[in-house]
Amino acid sequence: MTNPKISILLPAYKSINLLTNVFYPSFYKNVQEDVELIVYDNGGNLLFDTETHLSANIHPMNCFMTPSQRQIRFKAIGGGKNIGLNAALNECAKVATGDYFYLPHTDMYLMPGWDTTLLSACRNFPPTSFLLCSRSIEPIKGHTNYHIIKNYGMEYDEFDKERLVNEFEDYKDGSIVVGARMPFFMHRKLWDKMGGVDSHYFSYCTDDDLIQEAYHNGCRRFWMVYDSLVYHLQGKSNQQQHVDRDRNEPYEYFIDKWKKRGYENASHPGQWHPRLINFNHKVK
């Protein structure tokens, strides 16, 4: 049994319907590399039932072959207590065995080629020099300009997967641009150099801090790979989160943390990163 190339780190909070109707089907059908999936149960997932469901339908030893004949392993960890997104990611990383980490959310459907195009984009680069990400197809415009806006459903039970699968090739154009947004893809050496992610953040502001931490540790290739596509139901993974919702504390912590580390112009993350990183610039 070969080691997986990619470890998917997936915290799940009240996500059983998203997992079984959105994420798992795409994960099973559209993996082309050897991958392991590590799900951390942050609560409300009936995770043991989910694990039983997966094992019963694919392989009793939590290792199975996809339709593309690629090897996948599945691990379920966590005790059902909500420890927050970042702390759960750190726990997933502790048991991960892949060379690369991929950080999607449970409300994402992975399109064919998501994995091969990411690996191709970072080939021959030093492992701590890049932070890549997939491009999202989203039902409505969010707070970035990178994504494709096309509505294939906003809820798991109205998700038009068949139409998406028939049309998604139209969105591939081979471009790579400077941009960083979840779902992130990085070498485990960059993760280790950063010391994982800051577990102070429970949910909100996590993406911005990860980007800044990568920058602080010398990463300068922040690339969005347009042919690595996911459909994102937008915010469903966080929808029931309440610990830091509508609070300023995560953003105040972010500003204080990075000012103490020498970034005197630190401000609200949404306005800050473009000052350090020239996003929206086409690489190729």
**What pLDDT shows up at residue 283?**
83
Better-predicted residue by pLDDT, 61 or 173:
173
Domains held by the chain: number = 1
Residue 163 belongs to some domain of the structure: yes
- Whole-number pLDDT of residue 101: 98
- Per the domain annotation, does 1 fall within a domain? no
For residue 9, name the pLDDT band (cuts at 50, 70, 90): very high
pLDDT in tens, 243-282: 665 678 888 999 999 999 999 988 887 777 777 787 777 8
Report the residue count for the chain: 284
Tokens of 92: 């997933």
Whether the per-residue pLDDT at 68 is higher than 80: the answer is no
- 284 in any annotated domain: no
Q: Which domain holds residue 56?
A: 6-276
Please report whether residue 18 resides in a domain: yes
So what's the pLDDT on residue 61? 39
Tokens found for residue 182: 């979840």
Average pLDDT over residues 126-137: 96
162 domain-assigned: yes
Per-residue confidence (pLDDT) for residue 56, from 0 to 100:
44
The pLDDT score that the predictor gives to residue 33 is 85
> Do the Cβ atoms of 236 and 156 come closer than 8 Å?
yes
State the Cα–Cα distance between residues 85 and 219, nearest whole angstrom.
23
In a domain, 283, yes or no: no
29 vs 99, residue with greater confidence: 99
Question: Residue 218 CB: number of other CB atoms within 10 A?
Answer: 11
Structure confidence at residue 59 as a pLDDT band (50, 70, 90): very low
Average pLDDT over residues 154-168: 93
Please state the pTM of the whole predicted model: 0.90
Preceding peptide of 4 cis, ω within 30°: no
| pLDDT tens readout for residues 134-147 | 999 999 887 677 88
180 lies in some domain:
yes
pLDDT tens figures, 231-253: 999 765 555 566 665 678 888 99
Check the CA dihedral 239-137-212-106 and report its sign: positive
Mean pLDDT of the chain: 85
CA distance 22 to 36: 18
Tokens of 76: 């379920």
- DSSP secondary structure string for all residues of 225-274: EEEEEEEE-SSTTTTT--SSTT-SHHHHHHHHHHHHTT-TT---HHHHHH
- Write out pLDDT tens, residues 11-44: 998 888 888 889 988 888 888 888 999 999 888 7
More confident residue, 266 or 102: 102
Residue recorded with tokens 């980007």: 211
Task: State the greatest distance between any 2 C-alpha atoms of the chain, in Å, as a whole number.
Answer: 54
pLDDT, one tens digit per residue, over 164-222 is: 999 999 999 899 999 888 999 999 999 999 999 999 998 888 999 999 999 999 999 99
The CATH number of the domain holding residue 248 is 3.90.550.10
Q: What is the pLDDT of residue 57?
A: 44
Residue 246 located in a structural domain: yes
pLDDT at 240: 55
Q: Which residues touch 90 (CB under 8 Å, ≥6 apart)?
A: 196, 197, 199
